[in-house]
Structure 1
Amino acid sequence: MRSLKNLKITKSIESKRLIYNESILDKIDRYTNYLIFGALIYFSIVGLYKITPSANSDFEYIIYSIVLVFVLYSSYCLFTEKRLKEISFNIHKEEAKRRILEYGKKYHYRISNISNNLIYLNEPINSFSFLDEERTIIIFCKDQSVLYTVIKSGMRINAPVLFSQHIIRKDIRKILHQEKFTLTRKKSYFDRFFNDPS
């Protein structure tokens, strides 16, 4: 599991980037990810160049292109996972923290490391693997904004968070910009795609 040892809160807020003492295992994990994604990019590009034009080559181009776009996006997520994204608001800082904590409690996040400027919202990932994986939303509170990032921890490899980070950004923005703060039923990923009205 990834461990954020000695997370430097003030420096992270100032640089808008997670700054902490990275363990040897975390460094090995990060470079392993770089190696895997680099190899996938290389083989995707080589595969595109090696396609011989024929009646059926369009399908091969489509497959290799989809793989290449997905791997490039995953690589981008990996390289930017330590970068903190900012959401500004017009309410009091303590009210923003209260809303975030209520959001975490309502949707059964495991809330940890609450300090004056830092909140962790942890949730297990329902994946098809038997590995113990967890997604963590790290939120730094400033006077008129929050800085946040989403990281994923696994037993063997810490793959980047791909799509849920956009849904989490939308949720945080919504709760911080509501005039009258109310929480509704949290939609699953499938609800969002199929426009469930509830």
Structure 2
Amino acid sequence: MRSIKNLRITESIQTEKLVFEESSYDKFDTISIYFGFSALAGASLLLLKEVDFSFNNSFECAILISLFICSVYVLYCKYTEKHLKEIKFEIPKEEAKSRIIEYGKKHHHRISKISGNLIFLNEPTDLYSLGKDYEQTTIVFFKNNAILYTLIKEGSRSNFPVLISQHLTKKDFKKILHPDYIEPIKRTTYFNSFFHGL
């Protein structure tokens, strides 16, 4: 898990933003990502100005536009990485907490920091890292009838922002925190599945 030193739980909930002491590596990593992808976005815009928009150059234009959009999206994800997203629920807080813990177990997350207002769901990332386990962490705070959450990632070379799984996680959380949600029946064998289908 990425080092989150002296996480201030109450302040994070009040400001709806992760408040903790960042290491010098994390600060350097953030500056590097901002610099690298700002340069890539700027370069793709400059090159777009030089290209004539015609059918012959459509492939070049598509690549440059894609590079620009991807760079801006990475910058946006890095900028909002510590901002907590809110999902409201109508079920009791303890029920919401147990549903999120069950969700973590179901998806084979390593669950840690379980307290009154905080849960960490850690999942492996960087499959090709040599012997070192890196993780993507979903940090979930509880605030009255809502959760505040964000996803942060650690990596072998860079703590690259989470790009896609944040949207999938939001969809999953909304689903499991809905009052009408029912945990699916586990079907372990073909026969079990067949008889449940009747």
* TMscore range, shorter length: 0.7 to 0.9
Q: Supply the RMSD in Å over aligned alpha carbons.
A: 1.8
Q: Which residue of 2 aligns with 1:163?
A: 164
SS at 1:56 equivalent: helix
Q: Pairwise mapping of residues 95-114 of structure 1 onto structure 2 (< 5 A)? A: 95-114=95-114
Structure 1: gaps spanning 5 or more residues: 186-198
Question: What is residue 194 of structure 1 aligned with on the other side?
Answer: none
Residue 2 of structure 1 deviates from its aligned partner by: 2.9
Mapped to 2, the partners of 1:2 and 1:12 lie a distance apart of 17
**1:48 Cα shift?**
0.5
The structure-2 alpha-carbon separation of the partners of 1:53 and 1:180, relative to structure 1 and needing over 3 Å to count, comes to closer
Q: Which has the larger radius of gyration?
A: 2
Unaligned runs of 5+ in 2: 187-198
Residues 13 and 68 of structure 1, relative CA distance in 2, 3 Å threshold: same
Pair 1:145 & 2:146 matched: yes
CA distance in 2, matches of 1:105, 1:53: 52
1:182 to partner: Cα distance: 0.4
List aligned pairs for 1:2-151, cutoff 5 A. 2-52=2-52, 55-125=55-125, 127=127, 132-151=133-152
- Superposed displacement of residue 126, structure 1: 5.7
Contact 1:104–1:121, Cα closer than 8 Å, also in 2? yes
Does the C-alpha gap of structure 1 residues 180 and 173 become closer, same or farther in structure 2, counting only changes over 3 Å? closer
One-letter amino acid matched to 1:123: E
Contact 1:92 1:143 in 2 (8 A): no
Instruction: Quickly say closer, same or farther: Cα 1:13–1:4, change in 2 above 3 A.
Output: same
Deviating more after overlay: 152-161 vs 4-13: 152-161
Which whole-Å deviations, capped at 9, do the CAs of 1:27-48 have from their partners, x for residues lacking one? 1111111111111111111111
Counterpart residue identity of residue 104, structure 1? G
Report the secondary structure of 2:172's partner residue. Answer: helix
The one-letter amino acid of 2:139's match is I
Instruction: Report how many residues are paired.
Output: 185
CA distance in structure 2 between the aligned counterparts of 1:140 and 1:19, rounded to whole angstroms = 12
Moved more, 132-141 or 75-84: 132-141
Same amino acid, percent of matched pairs: 49
CA distance in 1, matches of 2:70, 2:53: 24
TM-score calculated relative to the size of structure 2: 0.87
Structure 1 length normalisation: TM-score?
A: 0.87
